[in-house]
Chain A
Amino acid sequence: MNKLEKFKGIQPAWCPGCGNFSILRAFNEAMDELGFEPHDFVIVSGIGQAGKFPHYTRCNTFNGLHGRTLPVATGIKLVNHKLRVFAVAGDGDCYGEGGNHLIHAIRRNIDIKLFVHDNQIYGLTKGQASPTTMKGVVTKTQPFGVFSEQFNPLTLAIALNCSFVARAFAGDISHLKEIIKSAITHKGFSLVDILQPCVSFNKINTFEWYKERVYYLPADYDPTDRVKAFEKSLEWGDRIPLGIIYLTEKPTYEDLIPIIREKTLLEQEPLINRIGDLLAKFY
C-alpha cells in the first residue's frame, strides 16, 4: 500500500497543473514523515481554492468562512491545545478578508501553523487582484492596474515578532515539505507563505517566473537576528529568498493561561454543581 494512502481525500477540483497539487503532496509527505495519523490534527480552512485543501487530504476538518480561519482555529486550540491545529488559507483569504485576524493571531502567539497558498491572484472568483498582486498588474477589476502597495506578509509578521516566519515554493516539493515539518515542530505561531503559481489566472507569476527568481537562504543565515530578517523579508523582485526567514522562541498563548496548565479545557468537567456557591454571592 502506498504510504500516503491514509491521507487520500476526495477528488480535487483544482485546475490541472495547479500549484496546490504540489502543496498537497508536500503536506501529506510531511504528515507521514512526522508519523501523524489523520485524526491527530485538524485543518481549519477558509474560502478560495486553498479552502478546499482539507477535503483533499484526510483529517479533522473545519472549512469555514472566507477570512475566518484563524479565529476558528484559535477557538479550537484554546479548547484542546493537545490537538495540532493547522490553518490553510489563500492570499485573498488571509491577507485581505482576514487581515485583522492575522495580526492578532501573531500577537497572541497561539500554537497554530498557518499555511498560506499565495498565488498573488484571486482564483476562485476568476482573476481579480489580491493583496499580494504586484503594483501595476492589470486585472478584470483593476482596469488601470493595481495602485496599492503589494502586501508583504513576511515583513508584517516579523514586525509583530511572529515566532516562525518562512517562505516556500510549490515548485520545490522537498524543500516545502521540510519547511512544513519545521513549522509544525516549532512551538508557537508559524506563518509559511507558499508561492503557488495559478495556471489559470496569473499569467505573470508563473512557475517559470518564480523559478528564475527564487533562491535558498544560505546555511550560515541566522534567522534569529530580527533586523537581518526584516531586511531579508524586504527582498522581492529579481531575487526572492526561500527558507526560514525569522525564528524566535517565546511562550505560547496557551502556556500563559493558568487554568489549562494541567489539563486541556476539553478534559475538564464543567463545574455546574458549584452553582449554589456562585448564587450565594448575590446575597
Chain B
Amino acid sequence: MDYSIKIGGEAGQGIQTVGDILSHIFAKAGYHVFTHQDYESRIRGGHNFYQIRISDNPITASRTKIDILVALDKESIYQHEKELNQKGHAVYDSSYFREKYDRPNFIDVPFLDLALTHGGSKLMANTVAVGAVIGMLGMNPKIMFEYIEKTFKKKGEEIINSNLRSAEAGYKYAKEKCLTCSFMVSGFESPKMLITGNEAIGAGAIASGLKFYSAYPMTPSTGIFNFVSDHAKDFEIIVEQAEDEIAAVNMAIGASFAGIRAMTGTSGGGFALMVEGISLAGMTETPLVIALAQRPGPATGLPTKTEQADLFFALFAGHGEFPKVLFAPGTPEEAFFLTNKAFDLAEKYQITVVILTDQYLADSQWSYEKFDISKLKYKDYRIRGEEFKRLKEYKRHIFTETGISPLGIPGNYHHLVITDSDEHDEEGHITEDAFIRNKMVEKRLFKKLPLIQKEIEPPKLYGTKEPEILILCWGSTYGIVREVVDELSKSYKVSMLHFSEIFPFPEQKSWIDIIKKSKLIINIEQNATSQFARLLRMETGIKIEKHINRFDGRPFTVDELLEKVYEQIREI
C-alpha cells in the first residue's frame, strides 16, 4: 500500500479540517503517514492544498502522483487532475461547481446534500468528504467513527451524532458509487503518533524544562508559539506576546538571566529584529534558544512558502565575535531531540542556539511508533539555593579553565549577579581595559568553542558506506533526499550525507573522507546560492561543483529531484 490523497480548495473551505481528520484516522490505523501543506497568505479564497501519503513502510516525503483528489473547488481539478495516477480517482460535489465531469474516475458525491439530509447542517459537508475518502479506499470505518467521537467530544452528543451520520453517509455513498475504485488498504496495526516540525520543537522545548516563551506571531513559526501556549497551563510556562521581536528576544534574555530556561521563535523578518539581542546574549553569556522557521525572502517574500535561505543570516547574526550553535533538524523526531540538545548546550556553555527549520518542516506531519524519551537530557547548570549561598564570593564572569563561569541567579543569595553589554570585568562591571578585554574574548570564544565542537555530532550518512554518488543536504530536505537515495540505490552506489548539527563543525572529521572519495557529489539546497556548500568550503576547503537548487518557495518533490539527479549522472 502506498497511496497519496490530495485535498484542494480555497482558503476557508476546510481543507485543513478534512486533511487533519483523515491523517489522524490513518495514523490511528497504524499506517505510516506523511503530510504536507501548501497554502497562501490569505484567510479566504486562493488555492490551497493538503497532501497525505499513507504506506505500510516508513515514508519521509510526498510523491508527485496522487491516488485520490478531493476537489473542493474547480481550480483543484484544473491544477491537479494531471497528477492523478492511472488508477487514481477524483471526488467532488457537482453542486459546488455547477458542473458535472463525465469521466469514469470522477466520483460526484453530494457533500452538501448529504450533510443537510444526514447531519442537519451544511457545516457537516467536510465530514461527508472524510467519509467519502474512507469509503473510496474501502477502509473499515471503525476508526473514523471513533476519531470523530473523540474530536467532537467537547461539543456534545448532538454534534457528535450528526457528524457520525454525515461521515457514514459519505462513506456509504462513495463505497457504492465508486465502482472503479480498486484500492487495497492494509489491516490495522497499533496506532502511530503524528507530529509536525513545529509541534516537535514545542514538545522538545517543554521536555527540556522550558518555562518562558516570548514571541511575536510570524508565519511559519507561529505553530510553536501556539503549541507552547496550549500547554502553558499544564506545564506552568509563561508565554508572552511581545510588542515586537526586539522585545521578544530581550524578554527571553531577561527571563534567562533571572534563572529559568527561555526561548523565542520567529521567521526571517522577525529574526532580523532579534539580531542585536543575539549579540547581547553573546556578550552577557546568557543562555538563549531561538527557533528560526525560514520562509522565502527578501523582506516579506513569500510568507507561507518554504526556503532554506537564512543559513548565512543566522550564522553571521550578531555584531562582534562570539560562539553560537546552529541546528537544522531534518525530521520532527530530530527537531524534538535537537531542541533538547539546544537547551542543554545553551545553558551549559551560556550561548545562543538557533534551531533552523522552514515552512516545509514546520507544517509537515510525520508518523512514528514513538519517541524514545529516555534519550532526553536534563541537567540544571545554574547555581541555585544552598549551593549558591555556600560560595564565599561570586563573580558572574570569573575566568576559568573552560571559559564557563558559574551561572548564578540574581536575588536573595547575598551574591550580586552583574552583567553588561559593554565589555566587563570578572564581576560584570563595565571596563575598557585592554588586558581584560583580551582575556574575556579568550574566555567567551577561544576556550568555549573547542569544547562546543566536541559536543557536535558529525553529519549522518544514509545509504552505502562507500558511495560513488554522494548527495549533500541539510535541514528539512532530509526526507525527500532519502527517498531519492532509496530509488537511486536500485542502480547506483549512492548515499546521502545529511547535516543537521550545522555549526560549528564537529571536532570529529572522518566524514570529510567520504566526500573526498566520492566520484560525483551533488549538493541539494532549497535556496538560490548553495549557502551550505559555501559554508562547507569555508570550514573544510572542499568545493562542491554540482548543485541542485530550488527557490520558488515550493518544496522539492521526490520525482522531480530524482529526474534532476539523473541529469547530473548522465552528464558525467
Which residues of the partner chain A approach B203 to less than 8 Å between Cβ atoms? 275, 278-279, 282
Most buried by A among B28, B255, B276: B255
B275 to chain A, nearest CB (A): 11
Q: A76 contacts the other chain (Cβ, under 8 Å)?
A: yes
Which residues of the partner chain A approach B261 to less than 8 Å between Cβ atoms? 270
Query: Could you say which of A97-105, A127-135, A142-150, A226-234 contacts chain B?
Result: A97-105
A266-B276 contact, Cβ under 8 Å, with A58-B416, A78-B238, A83-B410? no
Contact between chains at A75 and B199 (CB < 8 Å)? no
Contact between chains at B250 and A61 (CB < 8 Å)? no
How far is A44 from B378 in the complex, measured between Cα atoms in Å? 30
A75-B209 contact, Cβ under 8 Å, with A55-B430, A100-B244, A279-B371? no
Q: B233 contacts the other chain (Cβ, under 8 Å)?
A: yes
How far is A9 from B428 in the complex, measured between Cα atoms in Å? 12
How far is A10 from B416 in the complex, measured between Cα atoms in Å? 14
Residues 206-234 of A, flagged 1 when their CB comes within 8 A of B and 0 if not, give 00000000000000000000000000000
A76-B257 contact, Cβ under 8 Å, with A260-B238, A268-B236, A275-B206? yes
Contact between chains at A59 and B416 (CB < 8 Å)? yes
How far is A75 from B418 in the complex, measured between Cα atoms in Å? 16
Contact between chains at A75 and B233 (CB < 8 Å)? no
Q: B66 contacts the other chain (Cβ, under 8 Å)?
A: no
A39-B411 contact, Cβ under 8 Å, with A63-B421, A64-B421, A78-B238? yes
How far is A104 from B373 in the complex, measured between Cα atoms in Å? 40
Q: A160 contacts the other chain (Cβ, under 8 Å)?
A: no
Contact between chains at A266 and B259 (CB < 8 Å)? yes
Question: In the complex, which of the residues A39, A63, A73, A265 contacts B254, with contact meaning CB atoms closer than 8 Å?
Answer: A73
Contact between chains at B414 and A282 (CB < 8 Å)? no
Q: A183 contacts the other chain (Cβ, under 8 Å)?
A: no
Contact between chains at B413 and A39 (CB < 8 Å)? yes
Question: In the complex, which of the residues B235, B244, B418 contacts A274, with contact meaning CB atoms closer than 8 Å?
Answer: B235
A60-B418 contact, Cβ under 8 Å, with A71-B250, A71-B251, A76-B255? yes
A266-B258 contact, Cβ under 8 Å, with A272-B209, A278-B203? yes
Q: A138 contacts the other chain (Cβ, under 8 Å)?
A: no
Query: Could you say which of B57-65, B152-160, B188-196, B443-451 contacts chain A?
Result: B188-196
A268 to chain B, nearest CB (A): 5
Residues 36-70 of A, flagged 1 when their CB comes within 8 A of B and 0 if not, give 01111010100100001011001111111100101
The number of residue pairs between A and B whose CB atoms lie closer than 8 Å in the complex comes to 196
Contact between chains at A100 and B280 (CB < 8 Å)? no
The closest CB in chain B to the CB of A39 belongs to B414
How far is A74 from B240 in the complex, measured between Cα atoms in Å? 10
Residues 124-143 of B, flagged 1 when their CB comes within 8 A of A and 0 if not, give 00000000000000000000
Q: A259 contacts the other chain (Cβ, under 8 Å)?
A: yes
Residues 454-497 of B, flagged 1 when their CB comes within 8 A of A and 0 if not, give 00000000000000000000000000000000000000000000
Residues 405-433 of B, flagged 1 when their CB comes within 8 A of A and 0 if not, give 00001111111111111100000111000
A268-B211 contact, Cβ under 8 Å, with A65-B276, A100-B244? yes
Which residues of the partner chain A approach B207 to less than 8 Å between Cβ atoms? 272, 275, 278
A218 to chain B, nearest CB (A): 37
Q: A79 contacts the other chain (Cβ, under 8 Å)?
A: yes
How far is A265 from B411 in the complex, measured between Cα atoms in Å? 14
B405 to chain A, nearest CB (A): 15
How far is A62 from B411 in the complex, measured between Cα atoms in Å? 13
Contact between chains at A60 and B193 (CB < 8 Å)? no
Q: A80 contacts the other chain (Cβ, under 8 Å)?
A: yes
Q: B370 contacts the other chain (Cβ, under 8 Å)?
A: yes
Contact between chains at B211 and A64 (CB < 8 Å)? no
Contact between chains at B233 and A258 (CB < 8 Å)? yes
Residue pairs across A and B with Cβ atoms less than 8 A apart, 12 shown, are: A54-B418, A61-B417, A62-B419, A75-B255, A75-B256, A76-B257, A76-B410, A78-B251, A79-B212, A100-B247, A104-B247, A270-B210
Contact between chains at A278 and B231 (CB < 8 Å)? yes
Question: In the complex, which of the residues A10, A60, A274 contacts B410, with contact meaning CB atoms closer than 8 Å?
Answer: A60
How far is A10 from B418 in the complex, measured between Cα atoms in Å? 12
Most buried by B among A39, A74, A282: A282
A40-B411 contact, Cβ under 8 Å, with A75-B251, A79-B255, A279-B371? yes
Contact between chains at A44 and B254 (CB < 8 Å)? yes
Question: Which 9 residue pairs are nearest across A and B when measured between Cβ atoms?
Answer: A75-B254, A270-B209, A71-B250, A60-B410, A72-B254, A79-B258, A75-B255, A282-B193, A75-B251
Contact between chains at A278 and B193 (CB < 8 Å)? no
Residues 274 to 310 of chain B near chain A (Cβ within 8 Å): 276-277, 280, 284
Residues 308 to 362 of chain B near chain A (Cβ within 8 Å): none
Question: In the complex, which of the residues A47, A60, A72 contacts B253, with contact meaning CB atoms closer than 8 Å?
Answer: A72
The closest CB in chain A to the CB of B244 belongs to A100
Contact between chains at A266 and B260 (CB < 8 Å)? yes
How far is A79 from B287 in the complex, measured between Cα atoms in Å? 15
B9 to chain A, nearest CB (A): 26
Q: B167 contacts the other chain (Cβ, under 8 Å)?
A: no
Contact between chains at A271 and B235 (CB < 8 Å)? yes
A62-B254 contact, Cβ under 8 Å, with A259-B236, A265-B212? yes
Q: B376 contacts the other chain (Cβ, under 8 Å)?
A: yes
Q: A257 contacts the other chain (Cβ, under 8 Å)?
A: yes
How far is A108 from B209 in the complex, measured between Cα atoms in Å? 26
With A68-B247, A70-B247 given, name 19 new contacts (CB 8 A).
A9-B429, A61-B416, A68-B276, A71-B251, A71-B254, A72-B250, A74-B247, A74-B254, A75-B250, A75-B257, A76-B255, A76-B257, A80-B258, A101-B243, A259-B236, A265-B211, A270-B378, A272-B208, A278-B235
Most buried by B among A60, A61, A82: A60
Residues 135 to 167 of chain A near chain B (Cβ within 8 Å): none
How far is A80 from B256 in the complex, measured between Cα atoms in Å? 11
A249 to chain B, nearest CB (A): 24
Which residues of the partner chain A approach B233 to less than 8 Å between Cβ atoms? 258-259
Which residues of the partner chain A approach B258 to less than 8 Å between Cβ atoms? 75-76, 79-80, 83, 266
How far is A129 from B256 in the complex, measured between Cα atoms in Å? 35
Most buried by B among A10, A79, A258: A79
How far is A58 from B417 in the complex, measured between Cα atoms in Å? 10
Residues 235 to 283 of chain A near chain B (Cβ within 8 Å): 257-260, 265-266, 268, 270-272, 274-276, 278-279, 282-283
How far is A65 from B422 in the complex, measured between Cα atoms in Å? 9
The closest CB in chain A to the CB of B428 belongs to A61
Which residues of the partner chain B approach A75 to less than 8 Å between Cβ atoms? 212, 214, 250-258, 262
Residues 177 to 205 of chain A near chain B (Cβ within 8 Å): none
Which residues of the partner chain B approach A80 to less than 8 Å between Cβ atoms? 258-259, 410-411
A54 to chain B, nearest CB (A): 8
Which residues of the partner chain B approach A70 to less than 8 Å between Cβ atoms? 247
Contact between chains at A78 and B416 (CB < 8 Å)? no
How far is A70 from B240 in the complex, measured between Cα atoms in Å? 14
Which residues of the partner chain A approach B240 to less than 8 Å between Cβ atoms? 74, 78
Contact between chains at B238 and A62 (CB < 8 Å)? no
Which residues of the partner chain B approach A71 to less than 8 Å between Cβ atoms? 242, 246-251, 254
Contact between chains at B254 and A76 (CB < 8 Å)? yes
Which residues of the partner chain B approach A9 to less than 8 Å between Cβ atoms? 429
Residues 371-413 of B, flagged 1 when their CB comes within 8 A of A and 0 if not, give 1010010100000000000000000000000000000011111
How far is A283 from B194 in the complex, measured between Cα atoms in Å? 6
The closest CB in chain B to the CB of A100 belongs to B243
Contact between chains at B235 and A52 (CB < 8 Å)? no
How far is A279 from B411 in the complex, measured between Cα atoms in Å? 35
A60-B416 contact, Cβ under 8 Å, with A80-B258, A282-B199? yes
Q: B77 contacts the other chain (Cβ, under 8 Å)?
A: no
How far is A52 from B429 in the complex, measured between Cα atoms in Å? 9
How far is A116 from B571 in the complex, measured between Cα atoms in Å? 68
Q: B232 contacts the other chain (Cβ, under 8 Å)?
A: yes
How far is A182 from B240 in the complex, measured between Cα atoms in Å? 29
